[in-house]
Amino acid sequence: MRMGARGYISKSADEEELIRAITIILDGKLYIDNRFELTVQRNQDVYAEFTQREREVLAMIKDHQDNEFIANTLNISLRTVENHLSHIYYKTGIKNREKLLTL
């Protein structure tokens, strides 16, 4: 949603729900499948707590980049990347890198 998405729907949604979602979005409104509404809201709340640098690190993690690549790209030390990751883990309550991919 932060990146411009106007809707969120399950890939298992039926044709009727998909048409309803498209219609709502075309009317200029947001559509969030009610099965995911709490998850989407929680994720938006978590993103609000991240610093800009934490968002950058998370984006690179979601692109499957390793810590060394992140450090070199952002021109920061490997230890600083690890500190940002620690903050992200703490703020999200997530314990491992793989689960961060679902944010």
Divide the 103 residues of the chain into consecutive groups of 10 and give the mean pLDDT of each group: 71 87 87 65 66 90 93 96 92 84 75
Sequence-distant (≥ 6) Cβ neighbours of residue 8 within 8 angstroms? 1, 31, 32, 33, 36, 40
pLDDT of residue 91: 83
Q: For the chain, give the mean pLDDT.
A: 83
pLDDT of residue 40: 55
- Global model pTM greater than 0.85: no
pLDDT of residue 100: 81
